[in-house]
Chain A
Amino acid sequence: MFAYRRSIAAVALTLFAVSACKKKPEPAPAPAPAPVAPAPVAPRINQDSIEAARRAADAAAAKAAADADARRRAAEMESVRNTIAAKVYFDYDKDEIRDDQKATLDAKVGIMNANSAVRLRIAGHTDDRGSDEYNLALGQRRAASVQRYLVSRGLTASRFETVSFGKERPAAQGENEDAWSKNRRGEFEIIAGGDNLRMPR
């Protein structure tokens, strides 16, 4: 029994000692950390730097956002311009709009509606097989045929100017159907309202 008590006492003593040993190196509570206390002169510079950095970061972020927006706008403008400029093609000695070309024209309609200041020059072209003079007339009919189609889709005729280059400005060289088919075309050029083009919403 005595031995048992001694054991308990020893364990308690040991535990105490251990705990005493643990506590001993514990330092006094540290003084308040330096940043918390407002510093009189030098820390002011640091603060300016930080704010400058923050402003710079903000500016960079804004610039990045603006750049991204500009890129998006540029891509959008590019897309709009490409849609506007997309050519349409014709059959030999014909001025009728082919069924497979209507989607190309329909895509322009939305853009013209979203950009009410835009005016287009439609230029009719021909391949080089026909008469030089008659081709000038045929090219004009092609341009007018395109204009009629766009007007039939709700656009105002006064937003278009039609001209013909006949066979004078070939897009492709060659005496074969591949070149001829590329040359029998209508081309589109923005002649007014081309700034700040918008995508249709």
Chain B
Amino acid sequence: MTKRLAVLLCSVVCLLPSAVLRSQDTATVKGVRIGLTYAPGTRPGVLITPVGGPNADSVRVMLARDLDFGDRITVIQSDGGEPPTGTLNYPVYASLGAAAVVQASVTPAGSLHVVVHDVGGARVMDVADYPLPAPALGAEWRLAVHRGSDGVERVVTGAKGIAATRAVFEHEGMLWIVDSDGSQAHAVSGTEGGLSPAWHPSGRYIAYDELANTGHQTIVVRDFTGGPSRRFATRHTLNMSPAFSPDGNTLAFASGDDGTDIFTVAPFGSSSTTRLTAGPGATSNASPSFNPDGRQMAFTSSRLGHAEVYIMDADGTNQDLLTTTSFGDQLYRSDPDWSPDGRRVAFQSQISGVFQIMAINLRDRSVQAFTSEGRNTEPSWAPDSRHLLFSSTRSGTSQLWVLDTESGRTRQLTRAGKARLGAWSPRLDTGR
């Protein structure tokens, strides 16, 4: 800890404790910034001490940002200085509102060494090492640091974070991938005409709809580890909106030449398809999304003459209208995404002609609206079943945004051009 910080802390803690308490929400004191982002008292404060080793500043910034974006922790920042050595002065950290202290360093062997201290218990809670793949600051190196952030969040809150995830989305006629913190955005080569990307639960593959210049649409499964892409030809010209089952062994998609039905195929086995829906008539059945045990799926259907969200068993039986709540005169609900914890189905619903993001609770069928500013579409749950990725025009053009459904906090994930059709990856625990 720097001398400057130590002096400041001493003066703050020893001489003016009441002033600290009064100024916690707003004070920015040179050397120490104490900030409770919002909802004080519900999020444990975590202070990340200066990090030791190469690229220390990047590591510290990433850890702090990840914990902040996780929305379960209040990050207490302190500027600069040297990494602390020896036993931590827990009472000082306690006085700053820190329930935990993260002491991290990049080791000579190239690992991120993370020690999480329990300030109240004056003890070490957890020690973990995360190998950092070369090159430093590269995509895989950054993913490893994000894993460190998720480890801290799990130790401190009991809930695993979502920092080590990515989003795939459509941008300028191709599919792109971006890290959960908005960095490392890059095009996925060979995905021209790509629409509606969906992740395989392993994070190794994506499936998407390839729209050719002729209008023909083909489901493609792309292997990020360099294996060949697999294309699923059907006898229909329209093949769209793919989704993997949670075990990764089934790929559902919509297909048809008039109305569309939902089919399944083995993504890595036989190409024979199984039809789950049958109209009725020229009905559009599309946009399937599996529940977490893979036994049910939600989908969009026009069988009532307009789009609504339905659920059915994974063999096509027990089809049932899900969005039965009255939403006013705008009869249009679509693009369901079943939360990984199985409790909610998010969808988009037209309100006064403009789409907004909503979710229906499957226990009591209560509906919660999450957005109101701009046009908000294509919800995709994070692996924590708490954050939602969606497209929004609130900044002027369509961009990807992240919403914390608990607090209502939003942040913009993409900024260039237009971005849409985002899909949140599973946790990328082992890289890709």
CB distance from B264 to the nearest CB of A (A): 17
Q: Evaluate whether A123 and B215 lie within 8 angstroms (CB atoms) in the complex, with A134-B307, A137-B286 already known.
A: yes
Which B residues touch A134, using CB under 8 A?
A: 284, 286-287, 300, 302, 307, 334-335
CB distance from B288 to the nearest CB of A (A): 10
Q: Mark A117-146, 1 if CB is under 8 A from B, else 0.
A: 000010100000111111011101100110
Whether A162 sits at the interface, judged by CB under 8 Å, is yes
Q: Evaluate whether A137 and B254 lie within 8 angstroms (CB atoms) in the complex, with A132-B378, A163-B237, A164-B238 already known.
A: yes
Q: Are B195 and A132 in contact (CB under 8 A)?
A: yes
Number of residue pairs A-B, CB distance < 8 angstroms: 101
Whether A76 sits at the interface, judged by CB under 8 Å, is no
Whether B90 sits at the interface, judged by CB under 8 Å, is no
Q: Mark B397-424, 1 if CB is under 8 A from A, else 0.
A: 0000000000000000000000011000
Q: Are B215 and A144 in contact (CB under 8 A)?
A: no
8 Å CB contacts to B: which residues of A74-99?
A: 93, 95
- Give the size range of B's interface with the partner: 35 or more
Which B residues touch A129, using CB under 8 A?
A: 353
Among the 9-residue stretches B28-36, B105-113, B151-159, B255-263, the one with 4 or more Cβ atoms under 8 Å from chain A is: B255-263
Which A residues touch B348, using CB under 8 A?
A: 131
Q: Evaluate whether A144 and B258 lie within 8 angstroms (CB atoms) in the complex, with A132-B195, A163-B215 already known.
A: yes
* From A123, A133, A145, A148, contact of B240 by CB (8 A): A133
Q: Are B211 and A165 in contact (CB under 8 A)?
A: yes
CB distance from A138 to the nearest CB of B (A): 6
CB distance from B101 to the nearest CB of A (A): 46
Taken together as a complex, chains A and B put the C-alpha atoms of A33 and B335 apart, in Å, by: 100
Whether B291 sits at the interface, judged by CB under 8 Å, is no
Taken together as a complex, chains A and B put the C-alpha atoms of A131 and B354 apart, in Å, by: 11
Q: Are A140 and B353 in contact (CB under 8 A)?
A: no
Q: Are A131 and B258 in contact (CB under 8 A)?
A: no
Give the dominant DSSP class at B's interface: strand
Most chain B CB within a 10 A radius of its CB, from A130, A134, A138: A134
CB distance from A171 to the nearest CB of B (A): 14
Q: Are A137 and B284 in contact (CB under 8 A)?
A: yes
Taken together as a complex, chains A and B put the C-alpha atoms of A151 and B282 apart, in Å, by: 16
Whether A106 sits at the interface, judged by CB under 8 Å, is no
Which B residues touch A69, using CB under 8 A?
A: none
Whether B77 sits at the interface, judged by CB under 8 Å, is no
Which B residues touch A138, using CB under 8 A?
A: 284, 302
8 Å CB contacts to A: which residues of B283-297?
A: 284, 286-287
Q: Mark B364-378, 1 if CB is under 8 A from A, else 0.
A: 000000000000011
Q: Evaluate whether A95 and B254 lie within 8 angstroms (CB atoms) in the complex, with A133-B334, A137-B302 already known.
A: no
8 Å CB contacts to A: which residues of B211-261?
A: 211, 214-217, 237-238, 240-241, 254, 256-260
Q: Are A163 and B216 in contact (CB under 8 A)?
A: yes
Whether B205 sits at the interface, judged by CB under 8 Å, is no
Taken together as a complex, chains A and B put the C-alpha atoms of A168 and B241 apart, in Å, by: 15
Taken together as a complex, chains A and B put the C-alpha atoms of A162 and B235 apart, in Å, by: 12
Q: Are A141 and B287 in contact (CB under 8 A)?
A: no
Which A residues touch B257, using CB under 8 A?
A: 140, 144, 162
Q: Are B332 and A93 in contact (CB under 8 A)?
A: yes
Which B residues touch A141, using CB under 8 A?
A: 258-259, 282, 284, 302
Taken together as a complex, chains A and B put the C-alpha atoms of A99 and B335 apart, in Å, by: 32
Q: Are B215 and A131 in contact (CB under 8 A)?
A: no
Whether B306 sits at the interface, judged by CB under 8 Å, is yes
* From A131, A148, A162, contact of B237 by CB (8 A): A162
Q: Are A140 and B214 in contact (CB under 8 A)?
A: no
Taken together as a complex, chains A and B put the C-alpha atoms of A134 and B300 apart, in Å, by: 8
Which A residues touch B380, using CB under 8 A?
A: none
Taken together as a complex, chains A and B put the C-alpha atoms of A130 and B211 apart, in Å, by: 18
Taken together as a complex, chains A and B put the C-alpha atoms of A146 and B118 apart, in Å, by: 69
Q: Are B215 and A132 in contact (CB under 8 A)?
A: no
CB distance from B278 to the nearest CB of A (A): 15
Q: Looking across the interface, which residue of chain B has its beta carbon closest to that of A168? A: B211
Whether B355 sits at the interface, judged by CB under 8 Å, is yes
Q: Are B258 and A140 in contact (CB under 8 A)?
A: yes
Which B residues touch A164, using CB under 8 A?
A: 215, 217, 237-238
Which B residues touch A148, using CB under 8 A?
A: 258
Whether B196 sits at the interface, judged by CB under 8 Å, is yes
Q: Are B307 and A130 in contact (CB under 8 A)?
A: yes
CB distance from B190 to the nearest CB of A (A): 19
* From B258, B287, B332, contact of A133 by CB (8 A): B287
CB distance from B400 to the nearest CB of A (A): 14
Taken together as a complex, chains A and B put the C-alpha atoms of A163 and B240 apart, in Å, by: 12
Taken together as a complex, chains A and B put the C-alpha atoms of A110 and B425 apart, in Å, by: 53
Q: Are A133 and B300 in contact (CB under 8 A)?
A: yes
Taken together as a complex, chains A and B put the C-alpha atoms of A26 and B287 apart, in Å, by: 111
Q: Are B332 and A130 in contact (CB under 8 A)?
A: yes
Which B residues touch A145, using CB under 8 A?
A: 258, 282
Q: Mark A26-46, 1 if CB is under 8 A from B, else 0.
A: 000000000000000000000
Given A133-B286, A134-B286, 7 more contacts at CB 8 Å? Answer: A131-B334, A136-B209, A136-B238, A141-B284, A144-B258, A163-B217, A165-B211
Listed by A's residue number, 18 A-B pairs whose Cβ atoms lie within 8 Å are: A93-B307, A131-B334, A131-B378, A134-B300, A136-B195, A136-B217, A136-B240, A140-B237, A140-B258, A140-B260, A140-B284, A141-B302, A145-B282, A162-B237, A162-B258, A163-B214, A163-B216, A164-B237
